[in-house]
Amino acid sequence: MRVSKYLLSTQKETPANAEVISHQLMLRAGLIRRNASGLYSWLPTGLKVLRKVEAIVRDEMEKAGSCEILMPIVQPADLWQESGRWEEYGPELLRINDRNNRDFVLGPTHEEVITDIVRKEVNSYKQLPLNLYQIQTKFRDEIRPRFGIMRSREFLMKDAYSFHLDQETMDATYQDMYSAYCNILTRIGLNYRPVLADSGSIGGSMSHEFHVLAQSGEDVIAYSTEGDYAANIERAEAPKPTQSRADATQEMTLIDTPNAKTIAELVAQFDIAITNTVKTLIVKGATEEKPFVALIIRGDHELNEIKAEKLELVQSPLTFASDEEIRAVIGAGPGSLGPVGLDMPVIVDNSVKVMSDFSAGANTDNKHYFGINWGRDLPEARAVDIRNVVEGEAAPEGQGTYAMARGIEVGHIFQLGTKYSEAMNANVLDVNGKAKTLLMGCYGVGVSRIVAAAIEQNHDDRGIIWPKAIAPFKVGILPMNMHKSHRVKELAEELYKTFTDTGIEVMFDDRKERPGVMFADMELVGVPHTIVIGDRNIDAGVLEYKNRQSGEKQDIPMNEVVDFIKSVAL
Amino acid sequence: MRVSKYLLSTQKETPANAEVISHQLMLRAGLIRRNASGLYSWLPTGLKVLRKVEAIVRDEMEKAGSCEILMPIVQPADLWQESGRWEEYGPELLRINDRNNRDFVLGPTHEEVITDIVRKEVNSYKQLPLNLYQIQTKFRDEIRPRFGIMRSREFLMKDAYSFHLDQETMDATYQDMYSAYCNILTRIGLNYRPVLADSGSIGGSMSHEFHVLAQSGEDVIAYSTEGDYAANIERAEAPKPTQSRADATQEMTLIDTPNAKTIAELVAQFDIAITNTVKTLIVKGATEEKPFVALIIRGDHELNEIKAEKLELVQSPLTFASDEEIRAVIGAGPGSLGPVGLDMPVIVDNSVKVMSDFSAGANTDNKHYFGINWGRDLPEARAVDIRNVVEGEAAPEGQGTYAMARGIEVGHIFQLGTKYSEAMNANVLDVNGKAKTLLMGCYGVGVSRIVAAAIEQNHDDRGIIWPKAIAPFKVGILPMNMHKSHRVKELAEELYKTFTDTGIEVMFDDRKERPGVMFADMELVGVPHTIVIGDRNIDAGVLEYKNRQSGEKQDIPMNEVVDFIKSVAL
């Protein structure tokens, strides 16, 4: 393209309100513009990258045997009522009315629509397994849209859905999609990691997320130092304690602790080990008979809310009791809680179960018990895994220890089981003519989010450094004083034509701008290879080449430039 | 693709509620499925065609120098308030609220958003002219969605917008887009016609529509038998009468016409020429002082509502007075109206101005005047062009006579002038540093509608006959008894692999179906070239080839099949 006929729209200044580097650079390099909260337009350069990501995703879906379809963005509410999500789904589901006051939603996902299509179109086991995908705009009315297109309200997603009569083909397709997702991220050139994931509100059993590793990632990934195990921290299994509980050696004592409102203060003031204390968290119960439940974790651990809300006794989504509720039920503030004498179900983390002679709040303001022992001072409690794993502890399957990384979730695959097909009555006749409920898988890629994730992983202080496969342009032509030098203009135009004819995407900066501005724009936009043309170069018979990634410059004989660029750019 | 792993979803029966052939065939051939009124999913075969149309449109836009962008579907209402269309646009504009109860619209078009982007990003004449396009889903809440995706609520559109400081570059870009549209429709292989068009509510001056000619078209095109002139009948200029008005020869007489409620009855009962009668239509006026206006056209003519509503005295959109209003104002029913003694502005068609000794209702029930003459029996009236042209009368510019055709509008280009840029304050500094309001053009292609239009123009009683450029598959492989004959299976698989590797899109019917079913599906889907493989063919060393368009069959030696298909399909 010629910059003079293009909407380049670069900005020097770092925009206000753009917290993460990808958002800043996407605005500065003229990739996107904000139209309203969480709503963005893709300018030409950004869209070129988006379309390249889309093409790679499409290609890998086709290779994996998925067939492309396109479902509407506006979906009839009755399907959501049938699946039950009309009620379940929170305000992220934008409910709208048409001119006849009928209910619709702006599709945040398409499980209902695809299940409706498949139950109508597929009747026989002969048509299965079936794998369908689309690349379509989605809308989620995020409560706090942020990070540009990383968490926008409107975004481009690839969503695939597979249908099966048996677990064998379900597993096979799941594995195919897992591989396709690895291929997509490898081809794009990103450092990523597939991790075990929680399947969340979408339902189902087996689930993996695909994370692009980046410091700014919203998710924490726990992976094993030796071996393949990796999981979202939401889902990472904490190791069961290997030691058994030590015998009690202390009497339980009630201690005045007027200045210890937190574990940290308690530990500091009384010189005890934090690993010998527990935190007591009061959450809402799942039933009216048991309105509150106490969750007990070791003082140095963090509650894992995802694990906790899966407990049968606990309300989902997890809801903490307010200070007022705690005082009304227990008679003490949140700084003085503990498991001793508590009149509600008590669930402890596995690591708490093996503690002895430990300290906890006494359920009386400004008092703690020291020397607490299970069985003696309070009943044995049910022990489960309800905490986040921590760096350095044993990873599952004997694969060394846990290490942590941050990731940006760009893909998520699920085995949904019969959640939707059962609710929506999606049956197919099997080989014996018997109606069977379909098994279903679903597989999402955040196409637009990948663009931001790629930038988070690949940039420097001058701008974006695109992975080769998704660079908006392969080569930049930077003519110096073209509007004065006929020779420069002629050579620049010639190279532009040659590259264009060869199918090499060029950014030809034909503006009347200072070289410094043109250089800065090339680097900000992240053009991988730049050729500088000036009178001095022509005199010397060599053109100056600059590599965006390495920053290295090199003189290339004029008659070798085209072959050189072909060799590095194609 | 292998049909066994594909969602073919063909139907034998013509679906109920599908009025036009393209809608019927798109359902029967498994191209689309209805999700709700005016909302459709594209199944794999339909989407393949849609993507091919999209690719041709994109390619021609790029060639025309337009840059692709992508704007959001959900648009903030404040931009529409700024342009004035928040009030003006009818209920086709779906207004929605987000979770914070802020107003948004589902974009039926993007003039406001693009003008907002350009006024922020473009500051200097150096950045102009600029031409931007997108291929994006649109939503129009049609009062009566019909004809499948031909008039659906959600649809895929290419919309381009150009910005200029002067009329010269505006005209040049308009011409480039005109040519690009011709290229698109020629490449797709459609019989089409560009026609002069009314620019309607979108505003502006110059406008052309691009129509695919088809019997089922909703629009009527009037074109000249000699020369290039063609216009939507809404816009086609009626020839000015060449004869002057003849002198009066009759006295005006009041005649009882109790059984003549219509022109046809009057003409039949009194043996007068219909060309010597006039129709009087009462419409709402534009102002309170003149609440009604009488429009007079010749008895054999039709009112052109588009022309009429542009008259300054007339309310827009054109609104006919009700029977009650007519009786209240004139004291007679609609069957007895006429221009004599009418107490409201009277506007006559040019052809009426030259009539003499003519007949009309007497504004008294069951009475008509005969022998009416202008100037003598009633004041001379203002004469304009307010009628539809008719076949056989003189076309403009001396280009023979008018002929009529029906068309499906698939493209529309406009010069908008400063309508949006003025309302939204989109200025740019010119070469002298003076702020100038931008001139704007907009250019739309109904990408999804083209698919339906192509079918309307290309089908027979067995199914769709795709133009080569947009056929979903190039070749069909139809193996007979593949599941019993190893030889057939082997050859079919070999051909499938060869075609696929050569980039020839194949529909490989590997189902256990009767040959009749497989043949019918190939023809319904419209696969242009089919190769039949049976044991008998293999014995004879020749495969049977069938051409979808001509219906011709041909035996091809087995070892020549691949080359033959390459020669016809690529």
- In this complex, is the C-beta atom of B137 within 8 Å of any C-beta atom belonging to chain A? yes
pLDDT band at A202 (very low <50, low <70, confident <90, very high): low
Using CA atoms, how far apart are residues A561 and B9, in angstroms rounded to an integer? 53
Looking at chain A, which residues constitute the CATH 3.90.960.10 domain(s)? 253-384
The predicted pLDDT at position A179 comes to: 98
Using CA atoms, how far apart are residues B124 and A513, in angstroms rounded to an integer? 13
Instruction: Please report which helix (H) or strand (E) contains residue B197, including its range.
Output: none
Instruction: Find, among B370, B387, B239, the residue nearest to B306 by Cα.
Output: B387
Using CA atoms, how far apart are residues A538 and A485, in angstroms rounded to an integer? 11
How many residues in chain A? 570
Question: What phi and psi values does residue A5 have, to the nearest 5 degrees?
Answer: -110, 20
Neighbour-count burial for B233-260, b at 16+ CB within 10 Å, e otherwise: bbbbbbeeeeeeeeebeeebeeeebeeb
Mutate to test the interface with B, among A31, A48, A63, A69 (most CBs of B within 10 A): A69
Q: What is the dihedral of CA B328, B331, B337, B341, to 10 degrees?
A: -110
Q: How far is B114 from chain A (nearest CA, A)?
A: 9
The predicted pLDDT at position A200 comes to: 62
Looking at chain B, which residues constitute the CATH 3.40.50.800 domain(s)? 475-569
Beta strands B103-106 and B154-164, pairing class: unpaired
Contact A6 B67 (CB under 8 A): yes
Cis bond upstream, residue A339 (ω within 30): no
The predicted pLDDT at position A481 comes to: 92
Class in CATH terms, B3-237+404-455: alpha beta
What single string gives the DSSP state of each residue in B466-513? --GGG-S-SEEEEESSTTT-HHHHHHHHHHHHHHHHTT--EEE--SS-
Residues 70-99 of B with CB under 8 A from A: 70-76, 91-92, 94, 96, 98-99
Instruction: Please report which helix (H) or strand (E) contains residue B204, including its range.
Output: none
The predicted pLDDT at position B17 comes to: 86
Select from A40, A67, A154 the Cβ nearest to the Cβ of B6: A67
The predicted pLDDT at position B198 comes to: 75
The predicted pLDDT at position B35 comes to: 97
**A268-302, pLDDT tens digit by residue?**
999 999 999 999 999 999 999 999 999 999 999 99
Output the CA torsion sign for B73, B75, B79, B85: positive
The predicted pLDDT at position A76 comes to: 98
- In this predicted structure, the answer to whether residue A204 has a pLDDT above a threshold of 80 is no
Q: Which residues in chain B have their CB less than 8 angstroms from residue A98's CB?
A: 94, 141, 153
Q: How far is B26 from chain A (nearest CA, A)?
A: 14
Instruction: Find, among B352, B358, B360, B362, the residue nearest to B371 by Cα.
Output: B358
The predicted pLDDT at position A40 comes to: 98
pLDDT band at A388 (very low <50, low <70, confident <90, very high): very high
Using CA atoms, how far apart are residues B289 and B313, in angstroms rounded to an integer? 10
Indicate the burial class of B60 (C-beta count within 10 angstroms; 0-12, 13-18, 19 or more). Answer: buried
Q: Which residues in chain A have their CB less than 8 angstroms from residue B143's CB?
A: 99
- In this complex, is the C-beta atom of A122 within 8 Å of any C-beta atom belonging to chain B? yes
Using CA atoms, how far apart are residues A94 and A90, in angstroms rounded to an integer? 9
Q: Give every residue of chain B whose pLDDT is below 70, as ranges.
A: 199-204
DSSP B9: -
Q: What is the pTM of this model?
A: 0.91
Looking at chain A, which residues constitute the CATH 3.30.930.10 domain(s)? 3-237+404-455
Q: Is B316 helix (H, G, I), strand (E, B) or coil?
A: coil
Contact B41 A74 (CB under 8 A): no
- Measured CA to CA in angstroms, residue A515 lies from A482, A490, A536, B310 at distances of 11, 18, 14, 54
The predicted pLDDT at position A570 comes to: 83
Instruction: Over range A342-346, report the average pLDDT.
Output: 94
Select from A67, A76, A96 the Cβ nearest to the Cβ of B96: A96
Q: How many of the other CB atoms lie within 10 Å of CB of A250?
A: 12
- In this predicted structure, the answer to whether residue A187 has a pLDDT above a threshold of 70 is yes
Please count the residue pairs, one from chain A and one from chain B, whose beta carbons lie less than 8 angstroms apart: 160
Using CA atoms, how far apart are residues A370 and B538, in angstroms rounded to an integer? 91
| ipTM of this complex prediction, to 2 decimal places | 0.91
Using CA atoms, how far apart are residues A320 and A329, in angstroms rounded to an integer? 13
Question: Does domain A253-384 correspond to CATH entry 3.40.50.720?
Answer: no
Superfamily of domain B475-569: Anticodon-binding domain (3.40.50.800)
